[in-house]
Structure 1
Amino acid sequence: MTQRSVHTELNQYHLGLWYSAYRFIISACLLLVYLLTYPQLNSDYEYPHLYLYVLTAYLFFTSLQFLSLGRFKVHIPDQLMMLFVVDVIALSLLTLAMDGPNLHLSLLFVITIFAASLLLDAKKALVITLISVICVVYQLFLGSILDFTSLKNLTNSAILAFLFCVVYGSGQIAVKRFQLLENLNFSQSLELHRLQNINRYILEQIDTGYLVLDENCHVVLSNPAACHLLGMTTSYQQDKYPLYTTQPDLFELLKFEDLKSGEKFQFESQQSRYHIQVLVQKLVVPQQMLTLLVLQDAQRLNQQVQQLKLAALGQLSASIAHEIRNPLAAIVHANDLLPNSDAEQQQMLSTMISRQAVRIDRIIQDTLNMVRNKETHPTVLNLAKFIPIFIQEDLPDVQGQIRLNIDTSSNIAFDEAQLRQILINLIRNAIRHNDPAFSYIELNVRIQQKKVLIDVQDFGSGVAIQDQAQLFQPFFSTEITGTGLGLYLAHSFCEANQAQLSYVEQKQGACFRVSCQNVVIDS
């Protein structure tokens, strides 16, 4: 039996239990009403003794079936079928005792048929409906033949039989709607359960501790890592519980501190051997405010930081050694050739040595600029005024090769010295890679969606697709004489000033774009 079938049968059982209780109450009330009103309304009963005996038997069977259905959760469909068989027989005999259907019994018949449509399958519900029709209509014919009843209520019985069929059809439509909703609800519950299991599995596997607290400092969610770091037993991770019972030190800290979202602090507890770093995040969910505490071992974090620093230092050292080895080898080779060379060759070799020494000095200076991590001092710059002066002061030798297009209302907050170094690197790179057929490069400054875009564009061959992903990596260069630090430094300076440096694909040439927030200056 599938999980969905078990779920459906369980719902069917609960509804059947409620219906069984309803039958017991109705039968008891009918018997009580008869006993209290019989002396005044004895003329309303054609066969009062039959009415009394049927009600007594009906009450006995409803109580017996209610107890049976409650105690024995087996053969549920068969037990439900017997409920409706007893109902139809009892109500038919009561109708006969009243010499035809009345409003109260007809309503009970309708409820029985509709309940059968909900609790039984379509074929069994149809059988119950047809039995009800036969009992209501044909008992009059049988009574007239045996001369113990009349046909005066035949019209009412026919109308009631038609009503039974309508109720059956309506019940089947309702059942199909209920089944559709139940299947949808069941599928959604399975998907939700699956996602909960996945989330729980992920939380159990990660080393970072997660602790979710409600407004009353009750733990809503925790994972094993959080319990381990805080010195709590992992049995608490499943249920909601007050924090003060398991980690009073943390509770006292949170109780007296008004922690803001994004705040970090260090925490130590007597019941934990770890020095914990805690990150606070506020979670806004419907109708409540939750607090997420991200817990990590501070000592382990420090170790990871040191390892990353050592790894970065090793990579940097290897890159510097690789970059210096080539010009150094050229210097050594030229120095070996120098004693046995003529004057002209000595001059050429001396020039080579000098040029390679300058290259080594450039590598060292760029490296120092990269690792010094100078403090940034942004100021508001009006680019329409700043860039022409910058070109005149820092690029006098190539200012004739720069075509400037600038939006006069463009203002940015940027460290002036760092912006100058960024533009020098980008413009000289563009001129160096420009197609000789073009005598200029373009420097375009414009505003787009509250952003200032500074584009430096050449008309050369552009950057190969396989090289684009490494453009801003340190020591990456497509030139033999390049250090590979210019674009990396420019990218780092942009990040330090909350700007972005990116490569923009062009049909011809290369375009490097500096994107930063436009600053509106009040006049």
Structure 2
Amino acid sequence: MKPNSTHSELNQYHLGNWYSIYRLIVATCLLMIFLITAPRLTHDYQYPQLYFYVLITYVIMSCIQGVVLKKINLNIPQQLIGLFAVDVLALSLLTLAVDGPNLQLSLLFVIIIFAASLLLDAHKALLITLIAVISVIYQLFLGNLLAFSSLNNISNSALLAFLFFVVYATAQVAVRRFQLLENLNFSQSLELDRLQNLNRYILEQIELGYLVLDESCNIVLSNPAACVLLGIPPLYAYDQYPLRQAQPDLFELIKFEQLKDGEKFQFESQFSHYHMHIEVQKLMVPRQSLTLLVLQDARKLNQRVQQLKLAALGQLSASIAHEIRNPLAAIVQANELLPDSPAQQQQQLSQMISKQAQRIDSIIQDTLSMVRNKETYPASILLNDFIPRFIQEDLADIATKIQCTISSPMAIIFDEAQLRQILINLIRNAIRHNAAGHFHIELNLYRHEANARIEVRDFGSGVDAKDLTYLFQPFFTTEITGTGLGLYLSHSFCEANQAKLSYVAQKQGACFQIECPAVALN
């Protein structure tokens, strides 16, 4: 075929080759059957010599046309028309030789018409069908002119001609369906190939190394970064090889059955000068279980971590300086006014200095609580006993403003000191933001599936949608006097105790929800 041949032309060429093999087999079989049965079934052939010579010619023409189609793959449609024309002519003469159509030859006619509909366009296939109809029907009139008795089979020939048209119409419908499916499959294969090339390009450009292993510890997929880190030839990135052959050190290190999802470990090899950090991820795909190893250069990873720490430290320092600047400016200003002020105003300025100093101290204490890696001491807490005691001990001044509801006895595993700090922050925030017409906030405790939920709800204006993204970030506050660390610390304490603190949108007010696993009561 030509280099620029379309996908449809290639299919036509390959199907044409298969059809040429089929017709050669049919012609050969018919000739062999005739040679074997002719002496005993001479009366079944009206003109046995014509039958024999037609078969000999049919076999020779099938050989010649098959070789030409295979070797000289030019003008394929014209060659296929020649194949079908020879088929129709040969079968027509065979039908004439046996004095009219029979079941075997009729089936061969049907196959020819169906094959022509598949391999040729609609007009050429219709031409082959008409030739077949004419050759079957008008040979009867030719037989009558030559004093044959073929006119007795006129009804069979007419029925066969009708069958040819039915087969042609059915084949055209089938061909259209086949073409639609072929075009769909071809477009999908192109899209799949495009996505595979895109994925391969992404894998080639990315700095992370990806190594996918099957259950037999064979490399299913790898990218060039993985090959560089592991010190193996780049050809492994484009083919599948056993891990034992590609990287024996890694194969000896890992125990394939013991690898757990999310497991991380360090790796060095004599085949590579890199110190690697490897993370294991299990991939569940149909009919097989794969393991993904994500490889990183440990030195670069440590450098990035250090850079992030320095960036976070710079951001923290800038935030602390910004938060301290305002109360410090107020202290400086009050201190300048203090000597020349009357006694009453000096007392007010002293109170202002004391208040701003306390605010600075609060900012420093909250910052220290945030940056200290304080150890957590979880213990079993029976909420039914803890909550009333906590309100009386830590929130006695606002106890009358808290409406507490506990649906059923429940216990959780939590650090008690941190739980107290979380609830103090949430409840005092709720009291501060409660609407003027409401004199209480709600503290609700209830079970949700296997978890215990603690909700603190007020009836104020709630949290603006634009602030939700920054709600649990340090130093974010909408209050002038706030430090912006209360919610951040509460969120961090919850994470340290395997709990989750989240904001739940309400029609009115704000609702903060703590959810953590409940434990069985003794």
1:316 corresponds to: 316
Q: Is the 8 A contact 1:4 1:186 kept in 2?
A: no
Aligned length: 520
Q: Is the 8 A contact 2:217 2:256 kept in 1?
A: no
Q: Could you say if the C-alpha distance between residues 4 and 324 of structure 1 is closer, same or farther in structure 2, counting changes exceeding 3 Å?
A: farther
2:467 corresponds to: 467
CA distance in 1, matches of 2:343, 2:299: 64
Per-residue deviation, residues 331-362 of structure 1 (Å, max 9, x unmatched): 22222233333332332222222222211111
Per-residue deviation, residues 237-291 of structure 1 (Å, max 9, x unmatched): 1222223333222222236773222211111122222111111122222222222
CA distance in 1, matches of 2:168, 2:464: 74
CA distance in 2, matches of 1:397, 1:321: 33
1:271 corresponds to: 271
1:77-226 mapped onto 2 (5 Å cutoff): 77-148=77-148, 150-226=150-226
In structure 1, give the amino acid aligned to 2:443: L
- How many Å apart are 1:149 and its aligned residue? 5.4
CA distance in 1, matches of 2:40, 2:508: 107
In structure 1, give the amino acid aligned to 2:115: A
Per-residue deviation, residues 124-176 of structure 1 (Å, max 9, x unmatched): 22211111111111111012113355423223222222222222222223223
The answer to which of 63-72 and 362-371 deviates more is 63-72
CA distance in 1, matches of 2:366, 2:91: 100
In structure 2, give the amino acid aligned to 1:493: F
Per-residue deviation, residues 389-438 of structure 1 (Å, max 9, x unmatched): 10001111111111112212343322211111011011111222223333
Q: CA RMSD in A?
A: 2.2
Instruction: Determine helix, strand or coil for the equivalent of 2:515.
Output: strand
Per-residue deviation, residues 13-59 of structure 1 (Å, max 9, x unmatched): 22221111011111112222223333333333222222222111111
- How many Å apart are 1:4 and its aligned residue? 12
Q: Could you say if the C-alpha distance between residues 122 and 5 of structure 1 is closer, same or farther in structure 2, counting changes exceeding 3 Å?
A: farther
1:442 corresponds to: 442
1:399 corresponds to: 399
1:74 aligns with 2:77: no
Instruction: Determine helix, strand or coil for the equivalent of 1:142.
Output: helix
CA distance in 2, matches of 1:149, 1:389: 117
Per-residue deviation, residues 305-336 of structure 1 (Å, max 9, x unmatched): 11111111111111111112222222222222
In structure 2, give the amino acid aligned to 1:124: K
Q: Is the 8 A contact 2:458 2:509 kept in 1?
A: yes
The answer to which of 170-179 and 83-92 deviates more is 170-179
CA distance in 1, matches of 2:203, 2:477: 43
CA distance in 1, matches of 2:244, 2:67: 47
2:60 corresponds to: 60
Q: Could you say if the C-alpha distance between residues 257 and 187 of structure 1 is closer, same or farther in structure 2, counting changes exceeding 3 Å?
A: closer
Q: Is the 8 A contact 1:384 1:407 kept in 2?
A: no
CA distance in 2, matches of 1:432, 1:31: 104
CA distance in 1, matches of 2:49, 2:408: 107
Instruction: Determine helix, strand or coil for the equivalent of 1:368.
Output: helix
- How many Å apart are 1:495 and its aligned residue? 1.6
In structure 1, give the amino acid aligned to 2:519: V
CA distance in 2, matches of 1:72, 1:187: 30
Instruction: Determine helix, strand or coil for the equivalent of 1:369.
Output: helix
- How many Å apart are 1:180 and its aligned residue? 3.0
CA distance in 2, matches of 1:261, 1:473: 30
Q: Is the 8 A contact 1:383 1:408 kept in 2?
A: no
1:343 corresponds to: 343
Instruction: Identify unmatched segments of 5+ residues in structure 1.
Output: none
Q: Could you say if the C-alpha distance between residues 290 and 379 of structure 1 is closer, same or farther in structure 2, counting changes exceeding 3 Å?
A: same
Instruction: Identify unmatched segments of 5+ residues in structure 2.
Output: none
2:490 corresponds to: 490
Q: Could you say if the C-alpha distance between residues 438 and 155 of structure 1 is closer, same or farther in structure 2, counting changes exceeding 3 Å?
A: closer
